Structure 1
């Protein structure tokens, strides 16, 4: 990432305002540095040569010190507020963009890595705004002012500083390349640690069942050691870079001091002028030295913002803005020549797939795992990019409509439905928040879940329910909506035959159009039509139902 990425300025208005305020404060700080040096030199020269003038200089220095303290306080306040505003903006934008990308498009993104980015990752922007960017402004303004003022008194000393000063940015750039690689490696190690820990925690029941829970301790320790080694490598590089920058600055100031001292002894330079040059020389190098140190403190935030911007720049599907979606209760839905290829894969998941879904009928999709059944549902919802062909309703393509309006026609129950911690009724009402208690009971009954009390808690991710109960709660949530079409992915997996028959009867009684992924014979027998997909992406056929 660049020292000041223009993409960040475009994304966050607070960053632009903060940069403007930092420039103003930086110029003011540079001016006070010069005034302080002049006052010190004048005071010391006055005492040595004239023995007077100390009181006025002391009051002037006190005012300058107070002014610099006030500027530091103002810079800190502005930086903290800007950092909070930018973090809030990026978090909101990433979440909104993730919603636009959809769950299928984000399947390549580890959910734990995205969670880490939006929490710990973006919190690392605090030192970037509070330390690095203000120091970057100071490094851009103070040295120029200091060298210009030195040139008015001692051109040779100003030339020495001007020649040696670029050495610090050169070494900073070389060190920065290495630091950026270390920070990215550390950020990646943190994402792996978060993902691995989340997997172990989520699968603890299975691990205990097979006696592998204790064995995961070594695996977690190994991943933690990678993160620790990456963190120590970043710290080691930061300490070594500070040593190099301090050494360069010290040698450069020493060259200036030697030249000034020799000219002062020869009488070619006045005492007050020599003092101004000697006091200002370290101030010319100090902002760049501090910038090098603050770069490492902000490197994690820079890496996090790069990752956030990468997510934000992921292309989203092109949708129209039409809101006049045809009513699918009385309009057929057609898929024609649909081809879908997932990113990172060469073979298409679907190739030239055709299907017509007529109002009120139940159509079952069957076929081996990986044949593209779930992809058909995702294509209808617009959760995957369709390379060719399209989804049509009433003579118009789905991509012409506003996505939220289009998706209101559908209720989707994925293969692994997600439930929130709360009551059964609260999860069902996610489909329609204004549903009454009687409507919740009716939808649970239609989903074959009458044994579940609406007040019963489901736990985090439905942990207090069985797999079959989670699916039936999700099905009740779909049934309580006003959606014309139900898209179901193995809705009765894990259910006994009697409960499955109740679910089939409930869906028949709902009178909705149903497109479902099914393997169980009961659903195949109950469907109006069965479409079988083959192992190849372009193999599919419609089976007759007796």
Structure 2
């Protein structure tokens, strides 16, 4: 585990500004520490040996203490603002990158784990920026200044500190290796808990219907206990390592004090110099001790940031930047010898697939489950990069075009369309936010959902609608986009024959190019052509 991940500096400007401000504050703190030690040693010596007053020294000390307090406050303010800025930047970058990776990649990532990462996970960066990094900066600036000033008065004491000081970071590195593994286990346990709890809540209705709700109590309890055990293990290691670092620092300071005392008794060292060295010695070790104490508080945040960078460093499909995308209302669309193989799978999801989609025709993709029908739609949308083969439109390869401009040619309705909290009209208008109520009603009517009121709430994830109504609302949203090509994944699943007939009639009436995954006979019969996926052959309807 790196003390400061350089990827944070590259991706978050707030981290760079914070680090620069922390270095300045650290240097100022080191100077004030030395001044404080000199003033204390001079004042005590003056009172003991010369009987002089302490008013001047007391005023100086008051100013130094006020200055150090001001620097601590400034460090806290800068750290909190930096943490907020970095978390906001990383959340935005992860969301934007996830959108570019597309739904196929997201289906491989547990949505609850990603949600946990972007909320509780990144919130763990607060102690990293607020407590750990400030101490890390102090540990890299203050000891050097303190040892340098000590060397001007007592070279032996400065040498003792210089020899023993590196032992603390060495022990910290050893402890860090163990902490890294435990933090990852805790992060994984939290993700498992979040995913399991979300699954249970999402399927609560089904569990109640089949009388299995009570049985899930033990499962949730077991996953919770795993998270508790991982958290307590991290705390146990934190307490033990903190004790070891404190003991090492205390022994080192004691060695310095013994040497100074012996030289003071022998007359080889003056009282003022001895006092200054004794005051500065603990200050040399203090920043490193604080780094050790705060290291564990930041470990969870570092583990979360590593997960963030794992997402951000996932390569995007290679795409060009051309914006002159052919108009698919008049240009044909072809897939030539397309092969797709998902990571971790030996068998290809799509093997040598060919397809020509002419403007205005309705084509049905048929074949058994798992043959690659949905994968073919993902390839067209640019969510999956083929291992072999190419998608061509208007004589140009699809990967030459800007992905955003390319996807404007398509409207996609997946197997499980997503609906957001709001009304029917709110969800349909996602296709075109400027659409009027009349245009929304027309889209619903074309999708066979004309009976739905525009102000009818859909509930969270469309729970107030039936499965068929959800699909028809999603289809109306796709129709409202005016995209020339509709990509539909089983658009009539869950519909009765009358509703299915209405959807088919509406699709034919649009005059758009339609490529749909179909299993139901009525939908297959309505197509101009059927393409059997997996058999590498075309069958004319």
TM norm structure 1: 0.98
* Secondary structure at 1:421 match in 2: coil
Determine the structure 2 residue equivalent to 1:540: 536
CA distance in 2, matches of 1:423, 1:514: 27
CA distance in 2, matches of 1:299, 1:493: 48
Query: What whole-Å deviation, never above 9, does each CA across 1:104-160 have from its counterpart, x for those lacking one?
Result: 122211111111111111111111111111101111111111111111111111111
CA distance in 2, matches of 1:306, 1:271: 51
Determine the structure 2 residue equivalent to 1:89: 89
Of residues 431-440 and 370-379 in structure 1, the stretch that sits farther from structure 2 once superposed is 431-440
Determine the structure 1 residue equivalent to 2:387: 387
Query: What whole-Å deviation, never above 9, does each CA across 1:394-439 have from its counterpart, x for those lacking one?
Result: 1011111111111111110000101011111111111111111111
Unmatched 5+ residue regions in structure 2?
none
**After TM superposition, which residue ranges in structure 1, 4 or more long, deviate above 6 angstroms?**
none
Determine the structure 2 residue equivalent to 1:452: 452
Determine the structure 1 residue equivalent to 2:64: 64
Determine the structure 1 residue equivalent to 2:511: 511
CA distance in 1, matches of 2:167, 2:432: 65
Determine the structure 2 residue equivalent to 1:339: 339
CA distance in 1, matches of 2:281, 2:502: 86
Give the alignment of 1:296-307 within 5 angstroms: 296-307=296-307
Unmatched 5+ residue regions in structure 1?
none
* Secondary structure at 1:285 match in 2: helix
Determine the structure 1 residue equivalent to 2:319: 319
Determine the structure 2 residue equivalent to 1:201: 201
Question: Is it true that 1:217 corresponds to 2:203 in the alignment?
Answer: no
| 1:453 to partner: Cα distance | 1.0
Determine the structure 2 residue equivalent to 1:402: 402
CA distance in 1, matches of 2:509, 2:268: 105
| 1:252 to partner: Cα distance | 0.9
Determine the structure 2 residue equivalent to 1:268: 268
Determine the structure 2 residue equivalent to 1:189: 189
Determine the structure 2 residue equivalent to 1:328: 328
CA distance in 2, matches of 1:434, 1:137: 52
| 1:509 to partner: Cα distance | 0.7
CA distance in 2, matches of 1:268, 1:490: 92
Conservation of the 8 A alpha-carbon contact between 2:352 and 2:536: no
Of residues 156-165 and 62-71 in structure 1, the stretch that sits farther from structure 2 once superposed is 156-165
Determine the structure 1 residue equivalent to 2:3: 3
Give the alignment of 1:105-116 within 5 angstroms: 105-116=105-116
Give the alignment of 1:68-467 within 5 angstroms: 68-467=68-467
* Secondary structure at 2:343 match in 1: coil
CA distance in 2, matches of 1:193, 1:264: 61
| 1:368 to partner: Cα distance | 0.6
Determine the structure 2 residue equivalent to 1:38: 38
* Secondary structure at 1:321 match in 2: coil
Conservation of the 8 A alpha-carbon contact between 2:353 and 2:533: no
Conservation of the 8 A alpha-carbon contact between 2:361 and 2:512: yes
| 1:343 to partner: Cα distance | 1.4
Determine the structure 1 residue equivalent to 2:470: 470
* Secondary structure at 1:213 match in 2: coil
Query: What whole-Å deviation, never above 9, does each CA across 1:75-94 have from its counterpart, x for those lacking one?
Result: 11111111111111111111
* Secondary structure at 1:430 match in 2: coil
* Secondary structure at 1:451 match in 2: coil
CA distance in 2, matches of 1:437, 1:162: 76
Query: What whole-Å deviation, never above 9, does each CA across 1:255-284 have from its counterpart, x for those lacking one?
Result: 111111111111111111110111111111
* Secondary structure at 1:119 match in 2: helix
CA distance in 1, matches of 2:3, 2:496: 61
| 1:483 to partner: Cα distance | 0.6
CA distance in 2, matches of 1:282, 1:468: 72
* Secondary structure at 1:472 match in 2: helix
TM norm structure 2: 0.99
Query: What whole-Å deviation, never above 9, does each CA across 1:356-380 have from its counterpart, x for those lacking one?
Result: 0011111111111000000010000
Question: Is it true that 1:497 corresponds to 2:522 in the alignment?
Answer: no
CA distance in 1, matches of 2:36, 2:434: 68
RMSD: 0.9
CA distance in 2, matches of 1:137, 1:57: 29
| 1:480 to partner: Cα distance | 1.4
Query: What whole-Å deviation, never above 9, does each CA across 1:431-463 have from its counterpart, x for those lacking one?
Result: 111111111111111111122111111111100
CA distance in 2, matches of 1:353, 1:497: 32
* Secondary structure at 1:320 match in 2: coil
| 1:15 to partner: Cα distance | 0.7
CA distance in 2, matches of 1:101, 1:5: 24
* Secondary structure at 2:102 match in 1: helix
